[in-house]
Amino acid sequence: MADTAHRKTGVEGGVGLTALMVAAARAIETHRHDSLAQDPFAEHFVLAAPASAHWPVRIQQVPDGDANPLWGRFARYFGLRTRVLDDFLLRAAHAGGVRQVVLLGAGLDSRAFRLDWPPGCAVFEIDREGVLAFKDQVLGGLSATAKAARVPIPIDLRADWADALTDSGFDPGAPSVWLAEGLLFYLPVTAETYLVDTVDRLSAGGSALAYEVKLEKDLMEYRDSPLYTSTRHHIGIDLLTLFDGGPRPDSAGELSGKGWSASVHTPFEFTRRHGRGPLPEENDALAGNRWVFADKPPA
């Protein structure tokens, strides 16, 4: 990622602003009559930040409604992603017996507050300091109560973050579930490789990981995709300049090499499964997106 994207550490600009974009999408999804995921906190984040206070939080506030590439199709993508990853995390906690959840690049993810976690669960949230400070300020103003032990960890994921996590009470001896949602394409290849190595090193048998990646050709081939141009036009976020431009590692392959079983899916598979969400289009920024689910076998 261009270093300018990291100069601002809160939600007011750079990559932090993307957390507000996803929050706005989740607010819109929440208010849909056929919503796939409910996030009652999302609109509060959007309305609290000067940078996004004028953004829509309901599709009815968008003049061209679902025809708008950003607030229609792209927002529905984020709604679908939220639902699929909610299901993944809850399955690990309830069926898999995992009690440690780590959200990497947590942004304004409110899962610690809105999902029904089993007793004894801890949710570790890693993001940059300014983003987590804004999040705490908004949630504090709402007197929101977490449904798990929530542990914010303000640190840059390009640094060595493993000690910060274990110093915060994470136990590498117990199974864990990890999520990198909307994160890896902003990180340099070295940080992604470190992340995968660290997740593997700190994961006991029976742990699970889900993450989102973009195939490299996406950046080159879909430069003029309506999703990118609409995001730039409506809210001034130029995703292409925020993405790290370097070649991407084969993280699914690396995990397989470490003994994990990994499966790679297009988002469109989940659209078909849920009966709602984006389907393939011409010149589509989503064509290169993959959702990867990986399990470390029990010891």
Ligand X SMILES: C[S@@+](CC[C@H](N)C(=O)[O-])C[C@H]1O[C@@H](n2cnc3c(N)ncnc32)[C@H](O)[C@@H]1O
Judging by beta carbons within 10 Å of its beta carbon (0-12, 13-18, 19+), is residue 167 exposed, middle or buried?
exposed
Contact 68, 39 (CB under 8 A): no
Stretch that binds ligand X, among 27-35, 67-75, 103-111, 263-271 (CB under 6 A): 103-111
C-beta atoms surrounding 141 within 10 Å: 10
Q: Where are the beta strands (DSSP E) in 205-274?
A: 208-214, 261-265
Measured from the CB atom, the residue of 206 and 292 that comes closer to ligand X is: 292
Q: Which helix (H) or strand (E) covers residue 154, if one does?
A: strand 149-154
Q: Which of 260, 265, 248 is nearest to 294 (CA)?
A: 260
Stretch that binds ligand X, among 67-75, 143-151, 180-188, 219-227 (CB under 6 A): 180-188
Residue 105 contacts ligand X per CB under 6 A: yes
112-151 positions binding ligand X, by CB under 6 A:
127-128, 131
Residue 267 contacts ligand X per CB under 6 A: no
Looking up tokens 């048998």 gives 205
Length in residues, the chain: 299
Mapped onto helix, strand or coil, the DSSP state of residue 184 is helix
Residue 22 contacts ligand X per CB under 6 A: yes
Residues 40-79: x where in contact with ligand X by CB under 6 A, - otherwise, as a string: ----------------------------------------
Stretch that binds ligand X, among 58-66, 170-178, 182-190, 221-229 (CB under 6 A): 182-190
Residue 18 contacts ligand X per CB under 6 A: yes
Number of residues that bind ligand X (CB under 6 A): 21
Q: State the residues that interact with ligand X by CB under 6 A.
A: 15-16, 18-19, 22, 105-109, 127-128, 131, 156-158, 181-183, 186-187
